[in-house]
Structure 1
Amino acid sequence: MTPIQQLKQTALRLSQLGALITFALMPLWLKWPNAPHPFSGEYVLGFVLVVPIVWTVGWWVIAGMPGLKQHFQHTSHLVWLVVLVLFCGWAVLSQSWAYMQIDYPGLAQSRALQYALSAAFMLVMASAGPSRKWLLVILVGSMLVHGLIGTAQVIQQGSIGLSALGEFNLDPAESGVSVVVADGTRLLRAYGLLPHPNMLASILLVGLLMASNWALTTKYRSLAVAILCIGLWALLVTFSRSAWLGLALGIGIITILRWRTALKRWWLIVPLGLTSLVFLAAYHPYVLARAGTGQEQLETHSIGERTLFLFVASEAIRAYPVTGVGAGNFTWFASYYIFENSEYRIAGDNVHNIYLTIAAELGLVGLALFGTILLAGIYIAIRQLQANETQIALVACLLALLLIGLFDHYNVTLLWGNAMLFGLLGLAIRPFPAKQVAAVQGQSAP
């Protein structure tokens, strides 16, 4: 092996290591302290997560961009790649017509950079990403660590002393802290080390689906049961309704696609069912409150605000159907729209829907490009379902996250969520070696 080849091999390993570190850091809300513009907290470069993403992409480039050529050999891959570049280019162009381009040009610049970083990360994952087995370890490990942190916060009903790792000051009595209210009692939801329980829920959901798929075949049955019960309990105490729906969809997909194996492990239903029953027994008033069966003011207010921003998003699309209001500019458009057209005096917020977010900020052109990226990626991933058991879990995770996207926004508005969605999609797209595909197909043949 020549020195150049050794350098490229080392660079590839460093890139794959960076990818695993990136996934491991996603559940942490780490920003550069006291950093100047453009590295301050309100911009994408203010997040520490940028470093491992740039590391991953940089070393992949030094390695000679291995795996890139394979995307030019298949029509579906080529469509996905071309549309990905066009989407990022459209986001960059939106700076020229952004709603706040004069007063706050950094809004569009930051969001466009976020899309570019996430897209580059996805391309690396789709070309020469890390081993899917190591990804399983990272995602399940993150679920356990951050799930236990979130569970401890619910038990403590407050922070547990991890401020050095970015834990927020959590007091259920304070306004702005996410709680569930039942009969006048405020119950703190699990946060982990993120600024909202729904964000933690998505991390737990991905880990739980990966663990569920692994549990169907592993010989470590007791360990599998313990991991699944811990993950399920942690997800439940986030009280994230969208994540609960995502879990149901993901488990359904895994069960259907692996029904023969699932039948052999039917007994897994028992410990997971008992975990759910214990949760319902302990928190049933709060579950009913989240289900909307009561008239709790907090839940009614939350639903009202979400409905308001859904309407404002539709108005943004109606006013700017082709271009949108510019990447990262919807919250400011919402603020002005609400102030000028209603009696409400509330600050603008993101619309809790990733598809409406893209349409409102990048217009129907941006939505078409974004949708094509997702559809082409899912199509490629589904065609490879038989190549590897972990591929089924990845597809289940992706479809669950896309379902959650109907109710939340962080997979397109925040770097960690964007990188997680795009990174998982990239890994699901990555082709398997022809020998491995042939071997698996041979094993499944009658």
Structure 2
Amino acid sequence: MIKQKQIAGYGLYLLLILLPFQTRYFLVERSIGGAFFEYGSFTVYATEILLWFLVLYEIFWFLFRKRYKNIPPDERVHRLILKFFQERPIIAWSLIFLSYAALSALWSVNREQTLFYIIRLTEALLVLWLITLSREKKRSMLLTFVIGVALQSAFGIYQFFTQIVSGSSILGIATQIPDTRGVAVVETELRRYLRAYGGLPHPNILGGWIVAGLIALVALIYDSAIRAGAFSRSRLVLPFLLVYSLLFTALILTFSRSAGAAFVLGIGVFFAYGVFHKKTRYRGLELLCLTAILSIFFGILLKEPLTERGTGLVFNRNSGRLEQKSSWERSQGLRDAWILYKKNPLLGSGLGTYTTALARLYPERPVYEVQPAHSVPVLISVELGIVGAFFAFLSFYHIVAYLLRRRKILGIVLFCAFFAFSLFDHYLWTLYSGVLLIGVCFGFGIVSDDE
């Protein structure tokens, strides 16, 4: 007979593997000029249903198990929730920020949109709660997460070399080919290269998941090195290096600059930790050599598109048409954000309403020009105002202080990587796959060993 612990554990493993998949049901579809408007539509993902089942199952099992039969219900709630938050201030501060974000519904320019985004942020906190509450081993959860990312990576590699993303209504994937307008490509003088999507809405999002997977994998490698005395003596050396190669290859094929920056920052912190921390005595030489070999190989094989993406880091005349267009759109997004911010600098337009406010400000714009600014701090400032930005700063400050005080190296590395993401992309704040990724990774950061 399957025990409660097994049901909760298997359910969490399944959730970690399936989270990147975009299978969803549209509750409300919105459009601008007859074109589908993603940021104004309401959808329910299949993984959301699984998440809420696991949350309710954990609560029900805790409140009604026999060992707490003689404890009053209010005391059980205290043990399950209040005491849990008190022992983990990182979650308590996240809850404070979420509470203020929920209050923004009172003055939001679109109350329905705000309430919908409150649910999204709540789900991120619930994922974090499930991971920290789980009785499963940290290594097992990290390994399961890496397997899920590896599946997406293999899918993305296949897409790049076949130069097509095959659509699937079941998996929530739209057909993408390089010649179609709006598809994420790298355009050179010779051709248009389709970037790797995996099962996610955009290559940058796949890049974010891959970076998180690589960091989780490196954490497993460090753990194996400590257990075996040396990574080279570990039985997992070959499988881990093969998976690392798979993930790093897929990361390159996303051509995501923000993911590349986050990877360098996050892995750099890990390597520095290995060099200066006496307990590990692992310097990561195998990973450094493997990373260098793969970088040189793909640098030669994909010299033209990689060079094109590199020149697009700054707006200059040598950049290609699409890179110049991308740079202009990012700068235009910041200008739009400043205009929206000045309309209500104290309280903001309301959680999740940036694109709605932008569409009302410029009703003549087509849907592809009604996009969030590519910066999470900017979006928070516009949607929640000075007060919300202050609460966000307090939350992040206490999160960093907690991670440093408890010496949670995995949490510190993930925070550094996601801070880089937040400066150059918006999906960690605006899209389900990004918001839930934060919950998963900070859950791992909290349960990581104190070292």
With normalisation by structure 2, the TM-score equals 0.82
Shift of 1:346: 6.0
2:429 corresponds to which residue?
Answer: 412
Identity among equivalent pairs (%): 22
Query: Where do 1:180-191 residues align within 5 Å?
Result: 180-191=186-197
Q: Structure 1: any 5+ residue segments left out of the alignment?
A: 1-5, 386-390, 441-446
Q: CA–CA distance in 1 between the matches of 2:23 and 2:192?
A: 28
Map Cα deviations across residues 68-99 of structure 1 (whole Å, 9 max, x no partner).
4544655xx44x44443332232222222222
- Higher deviation after alignment, 285-294 or 321-330: 285-294
Distance 1:347 1:336, change over 3 A: farther
1:121 corresponds to which residue?
Answer: 127
* Paired letter, 2:392: F
- Higher deviation after alignment, 417-426 or 249-258: 417-426
Map Cα deviations across residues 332-389 of structure 1 (whole Å, 9 max, x no partner).
222333458xx9996321111111111111112222223333332232233333xxxx
Shift of 1:262: 6.5
Among 223, 240, 251, the alignment partner of 2:256 is 240
Shift of 1:322: 1.8
Shift of 1:304: 0.7
Shift of 1:127: 4.0
The answer to whether 1:285 aligns with 2:304 is yes
- Higher deviation after alignment, 236-245 or 415-424: 415-424
1:335 corresponds to which residue?
Answer: 359
* Paired letter, 2:300: A
Q: CA–CA distance in 2 between the matches of 1:329 and 1:159?
A: 30
The answer to whether 1:28 aligns with 2:21 is yes
Determine helix, strand or coil for the equivalent of 1:364: helix
Q: CA–CA distance in 2 between the matches of 1:24 and 1:36?
A: 27
* Paired letter, 1:170: Q
* Paired letter, 1:424: C
* Paired letter, 2:306: V
* Paired letter, 2:416: L
RMSD over aligned Cα, in angstroms? 3.0
Determine helix, strand or coil for the equivalent of 1:106: helix
1:388 corresponds to which residue?
Answer: none
Q: CA–CA distance in 1 between the matches of 2:14 and 2:212?
A: 16
1:211 corresponds to which residue?
Answer: 217
Q: CA–CA distance in 2 between the matches of 1:16 and 1:360?
A: 39
Is the CA contact 1:178–1:188 (under 8 Å) kept in the aligned structure 2?
A: yes
Shift of 1:320: 1.1
Distance 1:56 1:171, change over 3 A: same
Q: CA–CA distance in 2 between the matches of 1:274 and 1:81?
A: 40
Is the CA contact 1:335–1:346 (under 8 Å) kept in the aligned structure 2?
A: no
The answer to whether 1:382 aligns with 2:404 is yes
Distance 1:357 1:130, change over 3 A: farther
Distance 1:36 1:44, change over 3 A: closer
Q: CA–CA distance in 2 between the matches of 1:335 and 1:161?
A: 29
* Paired letter, 2:107: W
* Paired letter, 1:125: I
Is the CA contact 2:348–2:381 (under 8 Å) kept in the aligned structure 1?
A: yes
Q: CA–CA distance in 1 between the matches of 2:395 and 2:136?
A: 21
Is the CA contact 1:49–1:416 (under 8 Å) kept in the aligned structure 2?
A: no
The answer to whether 1:165 aligns with 2:171 is yes
Is the CA contact 2:166–2:175 (under 8 Å) kept in the aligned structure 1?
A: no
* Paired letter, 1:258: G
Shift of 1:210: 1.4
Distance 1:35 1:161, change over 3 A: closer
* Paired letter, 1:233: T
Shift of 1:280: 0.6
Determine helix, strand or coil for the equivalent of 2:186: strand
Shift of 1:329: 1.1
Determine helix, strand or coil for the equivalent of 1:49: helix
Q: CA–CA distance in 1 between the matches of 2:9 and 2:378?
A: 33
Among 288, 303, 315, the alignment partner of 1:269 is 288
Q: CA–CA distance in 2 between the matches of 1:322 and 1:13?
A: 48
1:56 corresponds to which residue?
Answer: 54
* Paired letter, 2:251: L
Map Cα deviations across residues 130-175 of structure 1 (whole Å, 9 max, x no partner).
4311221122112221111100100000025766433320100000
Determine helix, strand or coil for the equivalent of 1:275: helix
Determine helix, strand or coil for the equivalent of 1:187: strand
Is the CA contact 1:147–1:230 (under 8 Å) kept in the aligned structure 2?
A: yes
* Paired letter, 1:252: G
* Paired letter, 2:430: T
Is the CA contact 2:259–2:421 (under 8 Å) kept in the aligned structure 1?
A: yes
Distance 1:306 1:130, change over 3 A: farther
Distance 1:410 1:344, change over 3 A: closer
1:315 corresponds to which residue?
Answer: 339
Is the CA contact 1:180–1:286 (under 8 Å) kept in the aligned structure 2?
A: yes
Is the CA contact 2:149–2:210 (under 8 Å) kept in the aligned structure 1?
A: yes
* Paired letter, 2:193: L
Is the CA contact 1:338–1:345 (under 8 Å) kept in the aligned structure 2?
A: no
With normalisation by structure 1, the TM-score equals 0.83
Distance 1:44 1:262, change over 3 A: farther
The answer to whether 1:350 aligns with 2:366 is no
Is the CA contact 2:414–2:442 (under 8 Å) kept in the aligned structure 1?
A: no
Is the CA contact 2:196–2:250 (under 8 Å) kept in the aligned structure 1?
A: yes
* Paired letter, 2:21: L
Distance 1:19 1:324, change over 3 A: farther
The answer to whether 1:18 aligns with 2:11 is yes
Shift of 1:48: 1.7
* Paired letter, 1:357: L
Tell me the matched-pair count.
Answer: 411
Q: CA–CA distance in 2 between the matches of 1:421 and 1:300?
A: 30
Q: CA–CA distance in 2 between the matches of 1:191 and 1:358?
A: 27
Determine helix, strand or coil for the equivalent of 2:254: coil
